Copies of this chain bind each other. A is one copy, B any other.
Amino acid sequence: MKRRNTPTKAAVLSLLAGADSAMSHDMLLEMLEDSVDRATIYRILNRFCADGVVHRVLADDGKQYFALCEDCAQQTEHSHNHFHFRCLTCSRVECLGTEVSVNLPSGYRAENFNGVISGVCSRCG
């Protein structure tokens, strides 16, 4: 199933590229110019994840946030082992630069990393 280029896909990608923080589904829904169906946005985001274009963060507010893969994609092995910070005041979710390495007990194989720290960011502090 080869991907096709659609206006909505392009618009979502451009929003993610222009954002300085990870975006949730409803943020995108709100920011998109022409009205798009909710399900469509979910599907576009899921495709982006599958294609390694964005990574998904499940935050502690129970919502998924999506961020364009940038630094994480430039690893030798594309991994998303970095934390995200969610501000309880302004509700921005941002990637925290440094990759973290967790050493698991022997015999454990890591497949996915999901690290979120919530608190108050500097601009809301």
Enumerate chain A interface residues (CB-CB to B < 8 A). Answer: 58, 60, 62, 83, 85, 88, 96, 100, 102, 104-123, 125
Contacts and interface: CB of A to CB of B under 8 A. Distances in A.
11 contacts: A58-B60, A88-B111, A96-B104, A100-B100, A102-B117, A107-B125, A108-B120, A108-B122, A109-B125, A111-B118, A114-B115
Contact of A106 (B96, B105, B122): B122
Contacts of A121: 107-108
A14 B60 CA distance: 27
Contacts of A58: 58, 60, 62
A85 B104 contact: yes
